[in-house]
Every structure is written in structure tokens, then in C-alpha cells.
């Protein structure tokens, strides 16, 4: 978080990021779950905008995951007032008033720590990670 402006707004995210149109067919599947993974997050705004964009393209479900968080467990979630207003494949000037905002509690899944540690151990040893069906 050092050197970052803590006052970056949600509008800064919405007005500078869009989805590459080459991925439209891959994402646009109602029964598909898309995992958005970020190494660390401060406010969750970039993850939140990714969720909005992917749902606007047609993803069935979007799961957000981060390894670390720099601030407290509360996050402001932004949902468009109208799903049709998002133009996922091109930049657009959005206004904060275009979104409903609510606070949600981000929870930690303590079981993930072991999964991450094991996956890195396998990576370092150049072995495949053992997948299970659960």
C-alpha cells in the first residue's frame, strides 16, 4: 500500500478498465463460473469492477479471491442501477450515482492457507498439484 493513493475512487476503476472483446464467447456462458484472483487488495474496487464487467458480459457466476488484504474486513460493493448501462467491451464515463453501494463483510477462509501452501510446494518441486473431486 506504500506509495498508493488511498483515495482512488470506484469511478477511477470503472472509467479505465474494460474486457477484451476477444474473450466474449469464452465468458458468455450462463453455467460457467469465472474466478478472479488478485494477489493483494486494498479496497476491493478492482475486484468489484471485474465482477460487474464479467456479469455484464454474461458470466453465470463470478467468484472473487485475494491472498491478502491491506485494510479491514468491510468492503463497499457496487451494483449498477441498470445492468444494461455497463458497456463491458469499451471504456465509458461512469458516475458513482450509476451504482447502488452497500457494505459487505469479506470473510477469510482459513482452509485456503493450506491449499496455497501445498500448491506452492508442488510448484517448487515441479510436481502436479493433486486435484480432488470435492
Residue 73 located in a structural domain: yes
State the Cα–Cα distance between residues 17 and 89, nearest whole angstrom.
Answer: 9
Residue 63 located in a structural domain: yes
19 close to 55: Cβ distance less than 8 angstroms: no
Residue 27 located in a structural domain: yes
Q: How confident is the model at residue 53 (pLDDT cuts 50, 70, 90)?
A: very high
Q: Which residue has the cell 467491451?
A: 89
Residue 116 located in a structural domain: no
Residue 113 located in a structural domain: no
Residue 20 located in a structural domain: yes
pLDDT of residue 134: 45
Q: Say whether pLDDT at 108 is over 50.
A: yes
Note the pLDDT tens digit of each residue in 56-78.
998 988 888 887 766 666 677 88
Counting the structural domains of the chain, the total is: 1
Q: Say whether pLDDT at 10 is over 70.
A: yes
Residue 114 located in a structural domain: no
Domain coverage including residue 76: 10-107
Residue 126 located in a structural domain: no
Q: Which residue has the cell 463460473?
A: 33
Determine how β-strand 74-80 pairs with β-strand 99-105. antiparallel
Amino acid at each position: 500500500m506504500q506509495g498508493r493513493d488511498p483515495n482512488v475512487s470506484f469511478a477511477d476503476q470503472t472509467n479505465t478498465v474494460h474486457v477484451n472483446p476477444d474473450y466474449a464467447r469464452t465468458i458468455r456462458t450462463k453455467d460457467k463460473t469465472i474466478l478472479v484472483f488478485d494477489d493483494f487488495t486494498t479496497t476491493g474496487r478492482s475486484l468489484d469492477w471485474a465482477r460487474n464487467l464479467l456479469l455484464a458480459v454474461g458470466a453465470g457466476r463470478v467468484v472473487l479471491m485475494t491472498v491478502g488484504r491491506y485494510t479491514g474486513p468491510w468492503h463497499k460493493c457496487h451494483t449498477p442501477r441498470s445492468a444494461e448501462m455497463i458497456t463491458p467491451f469499451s471504456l465509458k464515463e461512469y458516475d458513482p450515482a450509476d451504482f447502488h453501494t452497500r457494505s459487505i463483510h469479506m470473510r477469510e477462509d482459513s482452509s485456503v492457507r493450506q491449499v496455497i501452501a501445498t500448491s506452492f510446494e508442488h510448484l517448487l518441486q515441479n510436481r502436479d498439484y493433486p486435484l480432488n473431486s470435492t
